[in-house]
Each structure stands twice: as C-alpha cells, then as structure tokens.
Structure 1
C-alpha cells in the first residue's frame, strides 16, 4: 500500500537531497526493510475511507507531507492498541468548516478531539541555502571511515556552494589522526560530548564534527560517515515553534464541545522539559531589583506561553499538549512523549490519558508521571530497527 513491491539491491546511504519516501522505498538495507514492513502493518489498521489520501501524502515526495502522515499513522496505531476508538476528520457541531484529525473515544467512554502538527526550528530556512548545505553534506554521507562515524552539527547559511570534497578531505585527515580505542575510553568516562571535535567553515556556514568510534566488530564495514545530523544549532530557540503551533491550532476551530488534545512532533535532538514548559507557560527570565544590588535575581516566567499570556490564561480550548521529540519513521522505539494537561482548560482532558507519560500542574509545581511508552505499545525492541 505505502511502498513499491519490487526486489531491492541498492544499499547506499541516503543523500541529503533524496526524499524520505524515496530513500525508504529504494533501500535494500535490512533495517529499512523492517521500517517498511512495520509502516505497512500500521497502514493496514488505518481507517479505510482515509487510507488513499494518506498513501498519496506518504508517496508525494514532499518530506513535510511524509512526516505528518507518518505521525498521524503512529498516533492512530498507538491509541488503537490502547483500546481507543478513532474517527478521522469529524464534523464539528459549532458549524466550523475546519475539521480536527480525529474524534477519539477512550476505553472509559470519555471523548476528545485530536489534532497532529509538526513543528521545527527550521521553518524559515532558505531553500536554496538548504540545497547548498545538503549537497555539501552528501560528500560525508557517501563516504566512510574504517574506525569512526561523525556527529554533525552546523549553523548559519552559505551564500555560495561550499566544497564537499574539501570538507571530506579535511574530515578524513582529522579522523586518521585519532585512536578509536582512546576516544571510546573518553566517551565511556565523560560522555559523548567529551569526544574530539573538528570545525570547518565556508562563509557564514560553520560545521562541527564530533568523532564517534565504531564498535570493534563494525570497524571497516561502515556504510556512511554521518552517524548523527543536527542542523541549525543555536539559531532559533527550541520552544517558540511549539508555542506557535499550539496557539495556531487553538484558534482554528472556535468553541468546542469536547476537549482538544494537540499532538506536536518537534524535529530536534535537543528538546528538553525546560523548552516544553517555556512553550506552554512562558519563557524563563531573571528579574533584577533596580537600585537594590544586594537582592538576588529571581526567576519568573514571561507572559508569552501558549497557555499564559499578558492577560493571563489563554488558548483554553486546547485542553492538552502531547509533545514528541523528533519522532521519525526510524525512531519509533526510542523517542519520548509527554501529555501536558492545561490547568485552565475549558474542557479538561479525560483522566484515561493519565496512563501515558504525562505532566500535571500541582499548585506551583509541575509533576511528571510515567506511562505507556511507544516501544511497549507498538511492540518494538529498544534498538529497533537495527534489531528485528
């Protein structure tokens, strides 16, 4: 349904200009085959009347359409396996022409609407600059080293095309100077961020490579040089795109008769609880007492969150935010998720949702609680898809 049925023999690495679907559909790697098979299984359980439209978006070649479709597919499967019933794109009794992604009925009989949205710190990037960056990083993706892979971080944008050949030559020369066993010992002792780094730049674009030693049994057999890729580090804060996505969805449907849960998939390795709280309740800031240098600065929140603004509580129709950290077709077994309950919601979320990882405000504190993980509910081992 989702992918082409043919014999695959191309095991090369994904290029930066290749679409997510294009790579998944042509790769012969065993781990990619596991991803394809699992997504096909999820699609078989998707509502039949909506499946054709979902398949069209998955196969469109547009990465945003692909990611949003996979996100909706995973949300549907996760809730169904927990005993929820989902009906796609319900008509709203308030007459709004807009329709949420799902009307959901919990096993307890409680009902709510579910809306899924992607958020990214790269929403305002220059497509031409991104193409130049992607072309350059392809030189790393298509190469390999006997003893190392690299974590890649980059920021800024180039006005002209950087040389992928020069970047690769410099990177390989640097890796050749390192001892993988010594680097691994440093990482084991002090963590990944203690690994040696190498910087390379072109105009306003800066690249930071961090050496990741291969396991002894994998040395000499790596298919690509890139182990981790994170772009735009430090350019845009991690919480504003989440806040804006929630505020937009909160204003889309008007007054609702049921709670609205907005699921946000934020594409970043670095999203943490501080970012999540800032997105919902406002940015952390230190306040100084003018003329009283002896007083310690105090920490408070600016009134610029999705749920709390200058006039106090707002977006009260958004009953909760279900936040995911960089959920992709490949990371279903390892990514975390948390449902935040809006303390000022007009229609409170069903209590049944508290079986999932969730956070609830208690007086002036936020308390986090564990719950059903994606890997547990979807039946995936922790190192899937590497391990079948």
Structure 2
C-alpha cells in the first residue's frame, strides 16, 4: 500500500493556481482530477525511490520554495527516467574518497559501465532574484485575494522588492481603491492604483466584468516589462557551477539540467557549452565578401582565453526543458557528449535526441518524447 506524501485533507479548490502560490501548496490542496493524477504519480515514484534517502527528498518536494520543490521533482524524474531506459541506480549521493561532496546519483548503463550524474536547475534567476520574486509573488497573491466582483484588475509591476512588502497596507489600499471605482465602463478610465515600497512599484487598472462575479479572482491581466532574453547566459551559470564541483573523478560525469524558462531551448544549451555563435564577414582582395559562422571563445567546454577545450571532467550534458510534476510527457530531452571529455560517456541509448560531433560538425539525431519513453498517454494528466 502506498503512503502518500500529501496531506489527508478535504479538497474543494478547483481553481487554477493563484499568482505566487507555491507549487506544492497548490498541488496538495487542488481538487481537480488532474491534480489527483499528479499526486498519485508522485506517490508511486516516491515509493520506488531508495528508502534511505526518501525522507530528505520528500521534505524538499513539500517545500514552499518553488526552486526546492522543482529541484526535488527533477531528481525524482531522473531516477524514474533512467531506470525506465534500462539503467540501474547503484547509489544515491555516493561517497567520494577525495571530497565530502557527493554527486546526486551513481548510475550503471545497460552496457554495465558506470557514471555519476548531477542534477541542476536553470531558472534564469540568481538566488537574490529568486528571493525577490518570491516576495513579489506573495504580494500579488494578496492582491488577487481582494474581492473585486465588478472589475478585473490589470497589473503592471516595476522593479523587484528588496524586502517583504507590507501586505496589510497594500491590501487596504487596493480595497479602498476598488470601493471608489465608478460603476460600469467608466471604471476603465478611472485613475490607476499605485503602490511603491522597497524598490518595487505595483500599478492596477480596472477592466469591467461583463457581469458581477462574487468570489472570483481579482487579477485578470498581468503586463510584463520589456527585457532582453539571453538563454545561453541564463543556462550557463548552472552548468558552470557543476562542471568541476567534484574535482578529478574515477568515472564519467554527467550534468542533467532542467531549463525552466519558456525562452530556454536546445540552442541555448549548446551555446552555453560551445560559445556564442556569430557571423564574421571579411572583405576579400577581389572585393567579394566572405561569410563565416563562428563561435566566440566563451563556452564552458570550449572557451577562454582563445578557444580551447576546458572543463573536460564533464563527460556530457543531459538537457530537459520545463520538466515539472504536471508537464513532462510532451517534453523532449537532449544529450550532448563532450567531445573533449577526459572520461567519455558510454553510449546510453536513452531514446532522446543526441548531438554529436562528426567531422568537425555537430549532428543531431532525433528522439522520442518523455511520455513515449515512459509509456504514458500523450495527454496526461488529462483523461
């Protein structure tokens, strides 16, 4: 009989997750049938996880800090995925002779060869930014819970709070502003609500509902500030941090990364490893132009000072994109062996896409979705 890691409570919340609501908290209390399927699957996978390390993983899964929850689920996912693809999990957090640090898993490939595997998240945020976003999301959740039966609220934010916002003061201000809004379409042209504290500014505008809705969520629209997107720069720190974490190892070493941003993609991973691509145009003596597609020497595997192999202790990167407890069956993975690895990774045949260097050019072989490889319905957790 499975023992659930979730609370034994009455569940009556069939609404989508609120802005800033912790991922585990929502999954724990949601009454949606899809949520129950996710809970059942997590409990099943946890029951297969080595008992000696189960309590620590469960504690992280139940964390209200989303990064901790997502990191724990990614480790649980890797444990399940590797076993489903014919690998054996020899040991969780294997002890190393030369350091008190331990990689996440010691794995045995179907061929009998072993390797270490370490998981990491790429959220695109530093620890300071993660904490600031958590403070902001707490404030936005408070706004979302303010009754606004006659109007949706359109939200714009600027800056991130350097300290927790005063929720009581913020909610009182929003309540007073809502109470003073004119009825009907005139609310759309009313002066916006503005609140500023600890370097963060929140602005709300009213959008009339077609009909009053008691108990409905207040916020109906969120506007995000314009930002420059550099996926490889966001992915790079996590991989760089893990590249030489354990020093000289006796076995191949693989870093598995879960790229969480909607803007993260395969090219971002390869650019982080091999250097940012650019086009060099040279004018030849005859006046014609020569175009070359090159990479800057700023990659984790091929980089400074002038383009040379480095971090050769990392044998490969196993990349996944936006894996979480609800969404993984339609996702794909990519394995990229390090062509300069001191200890090359044996062929794993995981069934996912693979990028390999052949005659100086990287070739991509296609793979199947995670759901296909785990024999799960394509529309899971829907029926």
TM-score by length of 2: 0.76
Extract unaligned runs of 5+ from structure 1.
168-172, 175-200, 208-219
Change in Cα spacing, 1:7 to 1:375, as seen in structure 2 (3 Å) is: same
1:141/1:117 Cα in 2 relative to 1: closer, same or farther (>3 Å)?
Answer: farther
8 Å CA contact retained: 2:21, 2:141 = no
CA–CA distance in 2 between the matches of 1:106 and 1:266? 24
Q: Please give the per-residue CA displacement for 1:48-100, whole angstroms capped at 9, x wherever unaligned.
A: 111011111112322121111100001001111222111211122x4221111
Q: Is the 8 A contact 1:320 1:349 kept in 2?
A: yes
Distance, in Å, in 1 between the alignment partners of 2:79 and 2:201 is: 40
Shift of 1:322: 0.7
1:158–1:96 distance in 2 versus 1, CA, 3 Å: closer
Q: Give SS of 1:352's match.
A: coil
State how 1:322-361 maps to structure 2 within 5 Å: 322-353=318-349, 355-361=351-357
Alpha-carbon distance in structure 2 between the residues aligned to 1:287 and 1:73? 44
Q: Which moved more, 1:366-375 or 1:324-333?
A: 366-375
Counterpart in 2 of 1:244?
237
In 1, the alpha carbon distance for the partners of 2:115 and 2:378 equals 30
* CA apart distance, 1:110: 1.4
Is contact 1:9–1:28 with CA below 8 Å preserved after alignment?
yes
Contact map agreement 1:84 1:105 (CA 8 A) in 2: yes
CA contact (8 A) 1:138 1:164 kept: no
Do residues 59 (structure 1) and 59 (structure 2) align? no
Matches within 5 A, 1:167-246: 234-246=227-239
Deviation at 1:13, TM superposition (A): 2.9
Shift of 1:244: 2.0
TM-score computed with the length of structure 1 as normaliser = 0.75
Alignment counterpart, residue 88 of structure 1, candidates 89, 92, 101: 92
* CA distance in structure 2 between the aligned counterparts of 1:144 and 1:154, rounded to whole angstroms: 19
Among residues 102, 115, 119, which one is paired with 2:118 in the alignment?
115
The range that moved more, 293-302 or 153-162, is: 153-162
Larger Rg: 2
Q: Secondary structure at the match of 1:125?
A: helix
Match of 2:44 in 1: 41
More off after superposition, 71-80 vs 5-14: 5-14
Is the CA contact (8 Å cut-off) linking 1:155 and 1:234 kept in structure 2?
A: no
- The answer as to 2:288 corresponding to 1:300 is no
Q: Cα RMSD over matched residues?
A: 4.2
Residues 114 and 127 of structure 1: is their aligned pair in 2 closer, same or farther, counting only changes over 3 Å? closer
- Contact 1:332 1:374 (8 Å CA) reproduced: yes
Note closer, same or farther for the CA distance 1:307–1:142 as it changes in structure 2 (3 Å cut). Answer: farther
Q: How does 1:115-154 map to 2 (within 5 A)?
A: 115-123=118-126, 124-125=128-129, 127-128=131-132, 131-132=135-136, 135-136=139-140
The answer on whether the counterparts of 1:15 and 1:142 sit within 8 Å (CA) in structure 2 is no
State the 1:40 CA deviation: 0.6
Unpaired runs of 5+ residues, structure 2, are 179-183, 186-193, 204-212
Aligned length: 348
Return the offset for 1:299.
2.9
Which of 253, 263, 271 lines up with 1:260 in the alignment?
253
